[in-house]
Amino acid sequence: MIEDLEELVLCESFSRDLEAVARSAEVVAEMGARHLGTRPEFLVIDGVTHLRWTFGTPRVLLLGHHDTVWPIGTLATHPWSVVDGVARGPGVFDMKAGLVQTFHALAGLGSLDGVTLLITGDEELGSITSAPLIADTARGLAATFVMEASADGGALKTSRKGTSMYTLRVRGKAAHAGLEPEKGANAGVELAHQILAIAALGAGDTTVTPTVLQGGTTLNTVPAEARVGVDVRASTVAEQERVDAAMRALAPAVPGTRLEVEGGPNRPPLEAAMSASLYALAQDLAERLDVGPLTCAAVGGASDGNFTAGAGCPTLDGLGAVGGGAHADHEHVVVAEMPRRTALLRALVEAVR
């Protein structure tokens, strides 16, 4: 397993570099062929390379991604290593160890009948090209097991917030800031009003966060344009819809300005009800295999499991690597947990299919 993990980590796969993603897909395909006995379908959508294996009539989906957030060349500063039982390198935790565990789990089955394995190439960018593919593949199946890395302490992820992404643009009117500012319509001042209104939309565990701000041209010009990005995280579809309606109902406060709202819900929530039965099964199997006890966590970050749950497929997430530091310099995997999680995944697939 360590040799396979090294092979994947040494093939850098920065999401925005489509050639690198294509190279990674070939490496992943070859590794899958060694373990599963056949190469996958190559599904290239808008230049992004996704891989899918299908065996017999699908009953269960195993879901992962091979792209990472790390730019090409990161290996020079974050080299592959295994020291004192801890593996390090770009993408090792999120989520190349999960792919290795998946291949080894499936290789240990007597038959692969009923299994579909989908590995996408743009999860870190919001699954822009793969979202319909994921939902279509999961629809009508008995279960989806998402091989994303675990939460702290190895906890499985039984619920994830849904995400919505917006850009609010303010259109105003430029004027000289010293000679005749009253003839302008200040988009920056209007944006300030809107940022406060947007931030106030959060309620309970729903977070509404203004993020990237841009506006104006020169120090002596009334801004004619300004904009803000908005990140929304919500635990229920109802909350996503509430915030969406409120965003579209925003009204300008500064005379002469107007608002344009772009974007909307990106991923539906993975609600706890969609994972409850699978988590109970995982707990029972972990006890039998002596790889428990299992814990669970609700997390704010989204994954492709949000799409499968949104398609009505029971979904259990966080079955991949145990470690930490996703997207951070201290990204790492606890190697001793890899075969334990592999055994749990194999038992889950056998139980469901």
Token couple for 183: 């003839």
Of 341, 304, 350, 287, nearest to 101 (Cα)? 341
Domain boundary pick from 267, 302, 331: 267
Residues 131 and 225 in one domain: no
User: What per-residue confidence (pLDDT) applies to 300?
Assistant: 86
- pLDDT one-digit tens code per residue, 211-238: 999 999 999 999 999 999 999 999 999 9
Token couple for 285: 């199997």
Residues 139 and 169 in one domain: no
Statement: residue 270 has pLDDT above 90:
yes
The pTM of this model reads 0.88
Domain boundary pick from 236, 267, 298: 267
CATH number for the domain harbouring residue 10: 3.40.630.10
Residues contacting residue 332 through CB under 8 Å, at least 6 positions apart: 86, 87, 88, 92, 93, 323, 324, 325
Residues 173 and 44 in one domain: no
Statement: residue 1 has pLDDT above 90:
yes
Tally of domains in the chain: 2
Residues 115 and 7 in one domain: yes
Residues 8 and 134 in one domain: yes
pLDDT band of 141, cuts 50, 70, 90: very high
Residues 170 and 306 in one domain: no
Mean pLDDT calculated for residue range 66-78: 98
Residues 277 and 129 in one domain: yes
Q: Are 228 and 165 in contact (CB under 8 A)?
A: no
Mean pLDDT calculated for residue range 243-254: 98
Residues spanned by the domain of 307: 2-160+269-352
Statement: residue 301 has pLDDT above 90:
no
- pLDDT one-digit tens code per residue, 8-57: 999 999 999 999 999 999 999 999 999 999 999 999 999 999 999 999 99
Mean pLDDT calculated for residue range 311-329: 97
Q: For residue 312, what are the CA distances in angstroms to 187, 235, 242, 268, 305?
A: 43, 16, 21, 11, 11
Domain boundary pick from 241, 267, 293: 267
CA distance linking residue 242 with residue 34, whole number of Å = 48
CATH number for the domain harbouring residue 236: 3.30.70.360
